[in-house]
Structure 1
Amino acid sequence: MQMQHWLLLAGLLIIIALAGYALTLWRRVWRTRAEQQQQQDGRDKRLAEDIQFIGQSLLNGQVPLIEGSIRIKVLLDNYAGPRRSDLDVTIFTEIYDQTAHIPTHTGWKQLSAAERKLHSRLMETLERDHQEQVKQAAGELTKGLN
């Protein structure tokens, strides 16, 4: 055999080896993507169950309206799964936006009595004005997101 034939054979072997390596890498990428999708699906399933549970708790009066609305809004923000097209949950965002400035936990304890009273009045007003909308949206959530 001539030198050109040997070089051609070596080149062909290198190409085959690189193609095999590329295929191995692509299989790893496909497997990783499938695992990530499986994790995301599991996460979305747990979030959907939590959203349904808090929606039911809101309807039963087991969680305060403001707190439940905020929790649902945050869970919905993290949920990436399918949603029914007729599901209107904008009320939770509205309540979240109107209460975002109110301190929680230690911040609440550090407020003066007058500041607490002011924030409490705001929350009472929101509860009174939006109670029916929140209960209707929570009722829809108890049926599931999709």
Structure 2
Amino acid sequence: MAEYRVWLIAASVIIVVLAVIAGRLLWQLRAQQRREEAERLGYESESAVQRKAAREGISILVRSYIAGQVGGSECALRVAVLSETAAMDAACSDDIGVFRDMAAALAHIPTHAGWKALSSAQRAAYTTEMADIEAQYSDSLQLASERLSRVA
């Protein structure tokens, strides 16, 4: 009987050690899940703030375009970039598509430092090209801006 006691004590010690290890791992898992949930909620909150700011930016841009304060090219490029962040509903996708299409047509034209590095002749050529593209998209851009200004 004494032999069995040694084995029972050894088995009990092993079971207690394994239970402690399992409890500790479970505690670490729950702590990690809480951290991940907090990070996810923070990300979702930050993402919602960014989407709202992008929608507001689109609204401001289209209203400025309608008022003649912003050119069609600049408006199209900026709205196309903001639309990647903004969560616009399906009703606005066609309107946003007009801005994206025009931005794609303008994509080859240098901006910022690239524009400053161009010669006068190159700038004039690109300015003429931008005016042609703006004329091509003018009507659809105006309609899309008016619809977006009411929705966004």
Q: Structures share a fold, TM > 0.5?
A: yes
State the partner residue of 1:124.
Answer: 131
Query: Normalization by structure 1: what TM-score?
Result: 0.88
Offset from partner CA, 1:79-136 (integer Å, 9 cap, x none): 3x2x221221222122111211212234333333332222122111122221110111
Following superposition of structure 1 onto structure 2, how do residues 44-123 of structure 1 map, counting pairs within 5 Å? Answer: 44-79=51-86, 81=87, 83-87=88-92, 88=94, 89-123=96-130
Query: Normalization by structure 2: what TM-score?
Result: 0.85
Q: 1:53 to 1:3 in 2, by over 3 A?
A: same
Aligned sequence identity (%): 24
More helix by share: 2
| Offset, 1:144 | 3.1
- Alpha-carbon separation, structure 2, partners of 1:137 and 1:123: 19
The one-letter amino acid of 1:29's match is E
| Offset, 1:30 | 0.7
Q: 1:95 to 1:7 in 2, by over 3 A?
A: same
- Alpha-carbon separation, structure 2, partners of 1:42 and 1:22: 30
Which structure is richer in relative contact order (CA contacts within 8 A, separation 6 or more)? 1
SS of equivalent residue, structure 1 residue 102: coil
Larger radius of gyration: 2
Give the number of equivalent residue pairs.
143
- Alpha-carbon separation, structure 1, partners of 2:23 and 2:53: 45
Determine whether 1:135 maps to 2:128: no
Once the two structures are overlaid, the 10-residue window that deviates more, 105-114 or 18-27, is 105-114
**Unpaired segments ≥5 residues, structure 2:** 1-7
